[in-house]
């Protein structure tokens, strides 16, 4: 009887306050969660992974040593992917990161010629973490891990310096702003590992360059980069 009452309450609640897609705003069907199947199918994929030469990799040529660099979707303004990235980062919807991270994990599982040992989310400074309440990159990393079965490590790379926003800075200003902002915890157990560094949107690559450079200080380390999206105006 209790189960029936709960079911009825649930149905009434859904009828009054239907769940909607975070990307397009349309009502979700019963088998859909967070993002509708149409949006998941139609959001423009880059198909960069695991090509070593692509638009994402070009941002890092001559800057860091890497195995693979990719982004999963193209980011354009006033599109579904922008809606998702905005809600993920600023509207307390970290579950979006997990869902889209799972798509990356599936691609890695199917198309990765070299073994990746650990997934490393780009960390937030503690002040920003407390203000936002979560790190969106943690959820992306956990989503990737859930389908690729690659473990996530969140305590190896630390953000020790709080930086000003990157939004209105030039490429050179962003690189200068990100110098020496990351530190490593003891890393003896991670020597000779291949790390996958992950974040939400790849713009100039300044943050990822700084984070990757720090990971490459670990003896024998290799680094790959995979973000949810890449800004098309870069």
Q: What is the pLDDT of residue 61?
A: 93
Q: What predicted TM-score, i.e. pTM, was given to this entire model?
A: 0.88
d(CA 54, CA 47): 9
3-state DSSP assignment of residue 72: strand
Question: Among 78, 100, 207, 96, which Cα is nearest to 144's?
Answer: 100
Q: What is the pLDDT of residue 10?
A: 47
Q: Please name the residue that has the structure tokens 């809600």.
A: 87
Question: Among 61, 49, 64, 66, which Cα is nearest to 209's?
Answer: 64
d(CA 57, CA 86): 24
d(CA 142, CA 122): 12
d(CA 161, CA 126): 9
Q: What is the pLDDT of residue 13?
A: 44
Q: What residues have CB less than 8 Å from 71, skipping those under 6 apart? A: 46, 48, 56, 202, 226, 227, 228, 229, 230
Question: Among 99, 78, 149, 151, which Cα is nearest to 121's?
Answer: 151
d(CA 208, CA 203): 10
| The two structure tokens encoding residue 29 | 């069907």
Alpha helices in the chain (DSSP H): 2-16, 37-42, 55-58, 80-90, 95-111, 126-132, 136-148, 171-177, 206-215
- Determine the topology of domain 43-231 in CATH: Rossmann fold (3.40.50)
Q: What is the mean pLDDT of each successive set of 10 residues along the chain, which is 234 residues long?
A: 56 62 94 95 96 95 94 95 96 97 96 92 94 96 97 95 66 69 94 98 94 97 98 76
Sketch the domain layout of the chain as residue ranges: 1-39, 43-231
Q: What is the pLDDT of residue 216?
A: 97
DSSP class of 161: S
């Amino acid at each position: 009887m209790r189960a029936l009452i709960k079911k009825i309450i649930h149905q009434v609640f859904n009828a009054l306050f239907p769940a909607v897609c975070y990307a397009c705003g349309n009502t979700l069907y019963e088998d859909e969660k967070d993002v509708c199947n149409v949006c998941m199918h139609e959001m423009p994929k880059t198909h960069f992974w695991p090509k070593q030469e692509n638009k994402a990799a070009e941002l890092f040529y001559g800057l860091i040593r890497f195995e693979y660099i990719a982004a999963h979707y193209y980011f354009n303004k006033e599109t579904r992917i922008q809606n998702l990235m905005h809600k993920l980062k600023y509207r307390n919807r970290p579950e979006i990161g997990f869902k889209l991270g799972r798509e990356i994990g599936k691609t890695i599982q199917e198309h990765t010629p070299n073994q990746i040992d650990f997934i490393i989310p780009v960390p937030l400074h503690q002040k920003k973490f407390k203000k936002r309440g979560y790190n969106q990159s943690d959820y992306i990393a956990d989503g990737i891990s859930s389908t690729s079965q690659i473990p996530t490590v969140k305590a190896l790379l630390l953000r020790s310096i709080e930086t000003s926003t990157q939004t209105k800075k030039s490429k050179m200003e962003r690189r200068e702003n990100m110098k020496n902002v990351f530190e490593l915890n003891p890393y003896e157990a991670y020597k000779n590992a291949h790390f996958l560094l992950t974040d939400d949107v790849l713009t100039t690559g300044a943050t990822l360059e700084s984070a990757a450079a720090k990971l490459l200080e670990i003896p024998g380390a290799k680094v790959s980069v995979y973000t949810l999206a890449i800004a098309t105006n870069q």
